[in-house]
Amino acid sequence: MTRILIVDDEPDIRALVRRYAEREGYETAEAENGMAAVSMCRETDFDVIIMDAMMPELDGFSACREIRAIKDIPVIMLSARGEEYDRLFGFETGADDYVVKPFSPRELMARIKVVTGRRGGMPKIKAGNIEIDTLGRNVYINGGKTELTAKEYDLLLYLVKNAGIVLTREQIMDAVWDYEYYSADRTVDWQIKQLRAHLGDCRDYIVTVRGVGYKFEAQN
């Protein structure tokens, strides 16, 4: 059963998300601030975290960073601030999705399904000096494990599965995020930049095609 951690300092928000999540058959747990969320993640594994951005004691962005340092758990950030800068900052801290308050609970449930639904496939995929363990969602560069966020992993897997094909930013957005987004170019470019930073010597496998998008070319 999918386990969701709902983190928000507003009890009504937690109750709303819990009610809809349990209708979908998810198991839920709650935390009222970032510090509690980090503590719970140290002790328990979750499939996805719904994290409020602004909370007392430890804000959602900081909590996301701390959780990323110990576990690879997808994080959907909730925030009343919806400017592009705020969204990009959320992705920079490791969030996989960013939902602006007030939000539709049904849409949030759909986004949870997208974030948690990308499992399975070939057990291992090798591309040049990159090896992807799809069952464990682990990535190895030159034999050494590299830590990726869930969204970076999904992006890399999509690029590798379509190696040699020029992909537009819109195609990447639709495949990796699976919903419409008002600023696809900036979002995809930002995630590509973050992913390249984690690929080390293999960063050049991701080729920029000017005016179009990106393609993956492994150097064997």
In the 8-state DSSP scheme, what is residue 179?
Answer: S
| Cβ atoms of residues 63 and 52 within 8 Å | no
Do 30 and 134 reside in the same domain of the chain? no
Do 109 and 155 reside in the same domain of the chain? no
pLDDT of res. 121: 47
Name the residue among 170, 167, 41 with its Cα closest to residue 94: 41
One digit per residue, the tens of pLDDT, for the chain of length 220 reads 688 999 999 999 999 999 999 988 889 999 999 999 999 999 988 989 999 999 988 999 999 989 988 888 889 999 887 677 777 887 888 888 888 888 899 989 988 887 776 544 456 788 899 999 887 788 999 989 999 988 899 999 999 988 888 999 988 988 887 655 555 678 889 999 999 999 999 999 999 999 899 999 986 5
pLDDT of res. 4: 94
Do 110 and 144 reside in the same domain of the chain? no
pLDDT of res. 120: 44
Three-state SS at 209: strand
CATH of the domain at 76: 3.40.50.2300
Three-state SS at 27: strand
Q: Which of 116, 139, 163 is at the close of a domain?
A: 116
CATH of the domain at 209: 1.10.10.10
Strand ranges inside the chain, DSSP E: 3-7, 27-31, 48-52, 75-79, 97-100, 124-127, 130-133, 138-141, 144-146, 167-168, 206-209, 213-216
For residue 50, the enclosing domain spans 3-116
pLDDT of res. 124: 77
Do 9 and 111 reside in the same domain of the chain? yes
Q: What is the largest CA-CA distance in the chain?
A: 54
Do 84 and 31 reside in the same domain of the chain? yes
Do 86 and 140 reside in the same domain of the chain? no
pTM for the complete prediction? 0.59
pLDDT of res. 72: 80
Do 58 and 163 reside in the same domain of the chain? no
pLDDT of res. 119: 44
Do 25 and 105 reside in the same domain of the chain? yes
Do 7 and 74 reside in the same domain of the chain? yes
How many independent structural domains does the chain possess?
A: 2
Do 152 and 211 reside in the same domain of the chain? yes
pLDDT of res. 220: 55
Do 78 and 26 reside in the same domain of the chain? yes
Do 80 and 157 reside in the same domain of the chain? no
